[in-house]
Structure 1
Amino acid sequence: MPVVPQVDIFIPCFVDQLYPHTALNMVKVLEKLGCQVHYNPAQTCCGQPAYNAGYKRESRDIATKFLADFPTPPATAEARYVVSPSASCVGMVRNSYAHLFAGSPELPHCQGVQRRTYELTEFLADVLNVSVIPGAALAGSYTYHDSCSALRECGIREAPRRLLDGVAGLSRLEMAETTTCCGFGGTFAVKFEAISVAMAQQKVEHALATGADYIVSTDVSCLMHLEAYIRREKLAIKTMHIADVLASGW
């Protein structure tokens, strides 16, 4: 019998509170590909907001709970993955947890969780070896925004584009400076509002110049920031998380 991939999903704060449909669409895609999806309702946050704001002790408390919420299975058990629709949170777990738990008794467990934690698109591409979601269809064109966390913390670039290029009816139009930050940056958008808005404006203008219908990314935090600028200026372009695109048409 074929092995059924066991997936524990981690739903970040932004997705849980503002974009729950994105979480449901991720589950829809994973189940379509034969995964058995598990959700621990006790999960909360990865600790990134506190960590980025300099509250290391508080963020370590939250990270400790994260590790408890996703216990490492016994060595004799089948592989079990932690998958999230947010490269930002995955980058936090994969990189910053090493600093939070350095030299601590929790480090071995932390490393086990780090090894099996994936952003959605890299899990689809690198673990499941999938490049096309059967039935995925969306009419129009898209331009892709490389989030800082996806590109710089997780090394994700080709997998999202390959998956999106496999969506029937959808064509890609690359924008200028696609790897430049959108200006969100968590608390950066609060502390440096004017700079943050100017960066969003630049990103949206690059997207509009392509003539694309959609801006697509792996991170709802970036998309939320860009969508706010788009709505304020009443611009003719939409934002979509990649999970919502891959779940379209079926």
Structure 2
Amino acid sequence: MAPKVGLFIPCYVDQLFPQVGIATLKILEHFGVEVDYPESQTCCGQPMANTGCTNEVGPLAKRFVEIFKAYDAVVCPSGSCVSMVTHHYDEYFQNDVDYENLKGKTYEFTDYLTTVMGVKQFAGRFPHKVGLHQSCHGLRELRLASSSEVVGEPFGNARALLESIEGVEITQLQRPDECCGFGGTFSVAEEAVSCMMGEDRVHDHEQAGTEVLTALDMSCLMHLNGIIRRQKKPIRVMHISEIFAECL
């Protein structure tokens, strides 16, 4: 029997990048997952938490748990939103069995594909030099890839999936796990610093020869794509689910 997954689509993806949600759905269904999209879902509360409005997060957290608790797993194409649910909801739940169960079965999209579904490679062809941006939440909270400040054997399932696609060449960055500068409301409160950090990231991909810039978080890509478009850089931006979908 196919696992039944609740598809959690972040607000900004729903409003600005619906093609990412559609690509995520296509890939999950391609691998035999029964996917349901609960239309009553709302924001996970991360923007409020980032700005210190913690009282406003509580109702959203409780609503999230109520909506998604019945599924075998919850999958989301955003490491930052998954991190919010699994790492920052604890203060709103005291010994809550539903939340503890949900926390253990909420996954970032590529993490679910590799660790739960056991996907090791993708068929198809994508003949491009691909630059992989490692977003901070996915890297340092969800531990989806190794970070340069930690000693140990390098790992990264998303990179391995990309490398399995015929024609993909992963570009080599000078600073492979540096923040893009978006940081949600940080980009509003510290606009100049945010833009400078983003420009540094774009420049690193440019010197590496990146043709397609991808990531596990569309929020980071939204920030970087704004810089790329304003500076008229010849770099295409795609969420990793879009690359996978193009390979089908």
Q: TM-score if structure 1 supplies the norm length?
A: 0.92
Q: CA deviation at 1:71?
A: 2.1
Note the alpha carbon deviations across 1:178-206, whole angstroms, 9 max, x for none.
Answer: 21110000010000000000000000000
Equivalent residue number for residue 180 of structure 2: 182
Give 2:34's aligned amino acid. Q
Structure 2: any 5+ residue segments left out of the alignment? Answer: 146-155
Q: Where do 1:29-68 residues align within 5 Å?
A: 29-68=27-66
Match for 1:133 among 119, 122, 144? 122
Q: Where do 1:61-100 residues align within 5 Å?
A: 61-72=59-70, 80-100=72-92
3-state DSSP of counterpart to 2:223: helix
Q: CA deviation at 1:112?
A: 0.9
What is the CA RMSD across the aligned residues, in angstroms?
Answer: 1.1
**Does structure 1 conserve the Cα–Cα contact (< 8 Å) formed by 2:122 and 2:247?**
no
Distance 1:50 1:171 in 2: 38
Match for 1:150 among 138, 157, 166? 138
Q: CA deviation at 1:174?
A: 2.3
Give 1:113's aligned amino acid. L
Equivalent residue number for residue 149 of structure 2: none
Give 2:107's aligned amino acid. Y
Distance 2:166 2:22 in 1: 21
Note the alpha carbon deviations across 1:119-169, whole angstroms, 9 max, x for none.
Answer: 00110110011011333x222110111100100110012011011111222
Distance 1:169 1:225 in 2: 27
Aligned residues: 238
Q: CA deviation at 1:109?
A: 1.1
- Stretch of structure 1 that moved more, 169-178 or 139-148: 169-178
Distance 2:217 2:4 in 1: 23
Distance 2:123 2:171 in 1: 22
Equivalent residue number for residue 151 of structure 2: none
Distance 2:62 2:200 in 1: 38
- Stretch of structure 1 that moved more, 64-73 or 184-193: 64-73
3-state DSSP of counterpart to 1:139: coil
Equivalent residue number for residue 101 of structure 2: 112
3-state DSSP of counterpart to 1:65: helix
Distance 1:179 1:98 in 2: 27
Structure 1: any 5+ residue segments left out of the alignment? Answer: 74-79
Give 1:10's aligned amino acid. F
**Does structure 1 conserve the Cα–Cα contact (< 8 Å) formed by 2:123 and 2:247?**
no
Distance 2:59 2:51 in 1: 15
Share of identical aligned residues, percent?
38
Equivalent residue number for residue 21 of structure 1: 19
3-state DSSP of counterpart to 2:5: strand
Q: TM-score if structure 2 supplies the norm length?
A: 0.93
